[in-house]
Structure 1
């Protein structure tokens, strides 16, 4: 565990926090309602790329410089802020005050458009950016150059190895549908990121999906973005607690560990590995279907009912387009002509199927 302190005056700015993997939805915008905190209490994550102001447009940066930074397809702009921004839950901050002249927002909160909007309460140095407007996951991003990491108990240590056996035991899967009938935002982000990797692994050939939730979430995207025809590549769900991957598997959909960010690797196949966020993978790998229960209250024997009713979506699934494009732009495979054509088509036509 560590705390973060002001680099100028050493005032403590957070409670004790433990490092975990940065969720793929960290830069997602969703709907027009208030979203919960991105990070669990007592955790932090690091954005390895430059993040926040200043931004430079793609035409000014150029393809060569962008590729050196790991971006291989045109984006609207690239950040030239310092890398290594730290994100924590708003409730884990300590000793900060708002900077009133930097508190603009889009709707009903702060969106950070003016840069750091939280200052150290002791020395008034800008130290963080709070984001809590509608459509955004609630976060506090600590400015890398303005804070320093202080070990809580002795020297800081690296991540422990991912405990795959404990994954299903200690973490719960995210249900795909919210009580209101909307698809869960975590699913839209996770599928958007995994879709980019799946397309790259497909090599442009039709893909066969297992029946069930994967067909409901990925199927329309494959129909829209890959050519029609007999499936040439087979996708299976693989990971801890599941049977070994068959030899005829072409693509294995595996979990990304929520603490370390490590991607599970099968030992008995040469299949291409595609990571999926663990909370979504758990629901895919170990679905917990709600079964009907015996009716009571004088009804005939053998009558069953669903109480409460199973959740059903009110519309077809659409992967998160921004997360898809962000992920695909950072895969070297996007430089292949067929995949670059997919990228350009999705970027130029934001409201076409499946997005």
Structure 2
């Protein structure tokens, strides 16, 4: 989480965990899980996620802070308590392979309205301009950022659900390069494919709207950009959408003479990945089992194929 921001997780997470055979399909569906999984959290949904540095007036519950191999996770339940009353109120997660975050327990905290006008979300032009300043998002190991990697798997799951079982035909471009071959391998061939295209602010409108539009999701509100006349939307994280819509438009070396508009002015230049961004299979499976559409036989068959590809899986991008 970026400092000063928050998110609300619609899915439950944390103790107590209940086996699938114990909880059953109906109760699991009520908790947002629509295919058999190893276990389902018995906690209520709606935990508020903050950056670790944004919490105040909480102290560690020391006996619950030694459950991770390299730090703290949520294996022993909430590990932060109110500094005044001692009530367990949140979980600090700070261990390898996990996002660093603090989750406020929805059973222990409540929202308090503040006086004054509500803040106005940043307009799309500013959002994309500020996000573009951070592009391309590769880390020092020359891999794409974890946020972008996970976003590919989430997008793949929603593309599969939006297909309705029909083949997808991408309009030429980076989105086709990323998702096209994987979806061709997963979806059955058919005579009437659905068209998919990147759509969003700053892009030239199409003469005929595609069947499925890949649009950016506002990083502050979570709301997708709404193109006029759109039929079906698949929201992408703003960073991933920019990577796809702007691929190949950055100048990768300093220009001589007068600097043209759009040239990178950083010194040293930002890191560029030497690898094309691949689809995160784990994020795709995790998202698919939480989409009601996965109960459709055709999509459940794809889900089962993906979860059974253990040693020689087909490429996902």
TM-score of the two chains, using structure 1 as the length reference: 0.75
Specify whether residues 336 and 176 from structure 1 end up closer, same or farther in structure 2 by C-alpha distance, changes over 3 A only. Answer: farther
Farther-moved stretch of structure 1 (258-267 vs 214-223): 214-223
- The offset of 1:248, in angstroms, is 5.6
Specify whether residues 327 and 180 from structure 1 end up closer, same or farther in structure 2 by C-alpha distance, changes over 3 A only. Answer: same
Question: Structure 2 CA distance, aligned partners of 1:294 and 1:154?
Answer: 50
Specify whether residues 250 and 335 from structure 1 end up closer, same or farther in structure 2 by C-alpha distance, changes over 3 A only. Answer: same
Matched, 1:257 2:218: yes
- The offset of 1:211, in angstroms, is 4.2
Match of 2:84 in 1: 122
Question: Structure 2 CA distance, aligned partners of 1:53 and 1:164?
Answer: 39
Q: Describe the superposition over 1:210-236 as per-residue Cα deviations: whole angstroms up to 9, x where unpaired.
A: 444324432342243224688823221
Match of 1:299 in 2: none
Q: Please state whether the residue corresponding to 1:171 is helix, strand or coil.
A: helix
Equivalent pair of 2:149/2:278 in contact (CA under 8 Å)? yes
- The offset of 1:189, in angstroms, is 0.9
Q: Please state whether the residue corresponding to 2:89 is helix, strand or coil.
A: strand
Equivalent pair of 1:105/1:133 in contact (CA under 8 Å)? no
Q: Describe the superposition over 1:320-339 as per-residue Cα deviations: whole angstroms up to 9, x where unpaired.
A: 22321222122222122221
Specify whether residues 80 and 169 from structure 1 end up closer, same or farther in structure 2 by C-alpha distance, changes over 3 A only. Answer: same
Question: Structure 2 CA distance, aligned partners of 1:145 and 1:156?
Answer: 28
Match of 1:72 in 2: 34
Match of 1:290 in 2: 251
In structure 1, which of residues 154, 160, 185 is the aligned counterpart of residue 146 of structure 2?
A: 185
Equivalent pair of 1:245/1:268 in contact (CA under 8 Å)? no
Specify whether residues 46 and 347 from structure 1 end up closer, same or farther in structure 2 by C-alpha distance, changes over 3 A only. Answer: same
Specify whether residues 102 and 290 from structure 1 end up closer, same or farther in structure 2 by C-alpha distance, changes over 3 A only. Answer: same
- The offset of 1:310, in angstroms, is 7.3
Question: Structure 1 CA distance, aligned partners of 2:283 and 2:117?
Answer: 32
Matched, 1:281 2:241: yes
Alignment of 1:337-352 (within 5 A): 337-351=297-311, 352=313
Question: Structure 2 CA distance, aligned partners of 1:50 and 1:310?
Answer: 36
Question: Structure 1 CA distance, aligned partners of 2:163 and 2:127?
Answer: 28
Specify whether residues 354 and 309 from structure 1 end up closer, same or farther in structure 2 by C-alpha distance, changes over 3 A only. Answer: same
In structure 1, which of residues 216, 225, 240 is the aligned counterpart of residue 186 of structure 2?
A: 225
Question: Structure 1 CA distance, aligned partners of 2:28 and 2:142?
Answer: 40
Match of 1:98 in 2: 60
Question: Structure 1 CA distance, aligned partners of 2:37 and 2:88?
Answer: 29
The runs of 5 or more residues in structure 1 that have no matched partner are 1-38, 297-306
Specify whether residues 210 and 125 from structure 1 end up closer, same or farther in structure 2 by C-alpha distance, changes over 3 A only. Answer: same
- The offset of 1:126, in angstroms, is 1.4
Question: Structure 1 CA distance, aligned partners of 2:221 and 2:38?
Answer: 30
Specify whether residues 100 and 109 from structure 1 end up closer, same or farther in structure 2 by C-alpha distance, changes over 3 A only. Answer: same
Q: Please state whether the residue corresponding to 1:187 is helix, strand or coil.
A: helix
Alignment of 1:192-211 (within 5 A): 192-211=153-172
Q: Please state whether the residue corresponding to 1:56 is helix, strand or coil.
A: strand
- The offset of 1:63, in angstroms, is 1.9
- The offset of 1:350, in angstroms, is 4.2
Match of 2:11 in 1: 49
- The offset of 1:353, in angstroms, is 2.6
Specify whether residues 72 and 174 from structure 1 end up closer, same or farther in structure 2 by C-alpha distance, changes over 3 A only. Answer: farther
The Cα RMSD (Å) is 2.9
Farther-moved stretch of structure 1 (62-71 vs 329-338): 62-71
In structure 2, which of residues 287, 291, 296 is the aligned counterpart of residue 327 of structure 1?
A: 287
Equivalent pair of 1:246/1:269 in contact (CA under 8 Å)? no
TM-score of the two chains, using structure 2 as the length reference: 0.84
Specify whether residues 180 and 42 from structure 1 end up closer, same or farther in structure 2 by C-alpha distance, changes over 3 A only. Answer: same
Question: Structure 1 CA distance, aligned partners of 2:78 and 2:192?
Answer: 50
